Structure 1
Amino acid sequence: MKQQALLDAARELSTTLSRLSFSAPVSMVYNAYDYAWAGHEAYIKRFGGGGRKRVVYLGMNPGPWGMAQTGVPFGEIAAVRDWLGIEVPIAKPAHEHPKRPIEGFACSRSEVSGRRLWGLFAELYESADEFFQEAFILNYCPLSFLSESGANITPDKIAVAERKPLEAACDQHLRTVIELLQPEIAVGVGGFATKCLQRLSLKGPRIGTLLHPSPASPIANREWPGRPRHQLRELGIVG
């Protein structure tokens, strides 16, 4: 059963990553596949089945008000609850930063990246079920890295020696997911994710890229959703 294979792969990745340690500037690590497993499990069980997926979209790692709260990639609360139809109890990490509380679906903050990305797909597809008939979204890494002040640290800012085992585990998980879903196209959402796909030298899917919807991106703030719509048409994903 494909859903179970995807769940097993995520569990294995979570276990492997839980053995890693990180030094400054990382002060605290949240593992969304641990405390928010209920959300991720619900996502896989609902949308990870069926035949092969024509398109797989890859993000980087959880945003503080998105996947970190829901366990769903780009998991902005309203999008996950209202469009994906998922709302489950979310636990808390063993150690929680006071400036980055995990409140699950009670979180009142909105993850702009997730709101933009899922909003784009809601405009292009009649329903989440229609979208997932041909597509799937996952993040490269399920860990959130926090500095002492609570600021987000992206995986590419981790010390090189500590990043190598992190990338080895995440690369293997990504390969497994690609083998399970057998997409025709693998799309990196942003430059980091695109480079991760390119690094694997995948034999099956062709690789494309989509503008990252982050509010930290001046281009995204100026050109969303026009540019990503154009990119999806160029890749032949939408008409």
Structure 2
Amino acid sequence: MPDAKAIIDAASRLTKELKPLRFADPVSHVYLPTEYAWETHRQYLEKYGSGKKRVIMLGMNPGPWGMAQTGVPFGEIPAVRDWMGISGPVQKPDPEHPKREVVGFDCERSEVSGRRLWGLFSEKFPEAKAFFKDHFVVNYCPLVWMGETGKNITPDKLPKAEMEPVEIACRKHLAAVIGAMEPEWLIGVGAYAEKKLIETVKEYFPDKTFKTGKILHPSPASPIANRGWEPQAEKQLLEMEVWQ
């Protein structure tokens, strides 16, 4: 059974490359969950990231009540703890925003995107290892940017010059994951993630062909997603023939 060493090493490298980066106003705080929640992030990679996968699904960056608390992409706590069987101590980001406290698995807020995403997958695959046998979910970038009020700042709102080193490191990490897992399908969770998959393949795998596509992002900020995300996403996966 191949182990997950290649992707654990890639995640560790990405964390080291992103940690020293600095961002100007309006960013007041930056969280890097793959550093302070490394223990549970590593568990996720170790438990579910080994071997080849048929499908890689890519998210954008951590949500405040999901991966920012658990270290797992779209990391809604009940899904991570009860379905994936992952838990453990989570350290504090430094500095911590007073309105965006990290309490790890004691967080009582729900990460709606993660509840929807893992809710669909756990309904289709009651056993997590059955899902992860062929699928893997990874985030493009593990950084969370916040303003003075605690409001989330998305990567597209940051200056190009500040984002350039982030992009280089994230594409390199994504290429390492793709190279290790040799998937047939690359699926963006949302249009932004699909765009990042296409850019990374173009740069790192110019002679390889992957099937690419996207599903609707499960964010509660999306009116379409709020009209029943699960059936819409399932329909997209069936129409692309990612799922039978």
TM-score normalised by length of structure 2: 0.95
The alignment partner of 1:219 has SS state of coil
* Deviating 4+ runs (over 3 angstroms): none
- Number of matched residues? 238
Please list, as runs of the form range in 1=range in 2, the aligned pairs for 1:172-191 lying within 5 A after superposition: 172-191=172-191
The answer to whether the 8 A contact 1:182-1:205 is kept is no
The answer to whether the 8 A contact 1:183-1:204 is kept is no
Counterpart of 2:11?
10
The answer to whether the 8 A contact 1:87-1:105 is kept is yes
Q: Tell me, which stretches of 5 or more residues in structure 2 are unaligned?
A: none
Please list, as runs of the form range in 1=range in 2, the aligned pairs for 1:22-101 lying within 5 A after superposition: 22-49=23-50, 51-101=51-101
The answer to whether the 8 A contact 1:59-1:139 is kept is yes
> Deviation of residue 180 (structure 1)?
0.4
> Deviation of residue 97 (structure 1)?
0.3
Counterpart of 1:230?
235
Residue type matched to 2:115 in 1?
R
Please list, as runs of the form range in 1=range in 2, the aligned pairs for 1:153-232 lying within 5 A after superposition: 153-200=153-200, 201=202, 202=205, 203-232=208-237
- Counterparts of 1:11 and 1:204, CA distance in 2: 28
> Deviation of residue 2 (structure 1)?
3.8
The alignment partner of 2:126 has SS state of coil
CA deviations on 1:17-65 (whole Å, 9 max, x unpaired) are: 112111112111000111010110110111111x310000000000000
- Counterparts of 1:126 and 1:142, CA distance in 2: 27
Aligned-residue sequence identity (percent) comes to: 54
Residue type matched to 1:238 in 2?
W
- Counterparts of 1:70 and 1:225, CA distance in 2: 23
The answer to whether the 8 A contact 1:40-1:72 is kept is yes
**144-153 or 199-208, which deviates more:** 199-208
CA RMSD of aligned residues (A): 1.0
TM-score normalised by length of structure 1: 0.97
- Counterparts of 1:224 and 1:165, CA distance in 2: 33
> Deviation of residue 126 (structure 1)?
2.9
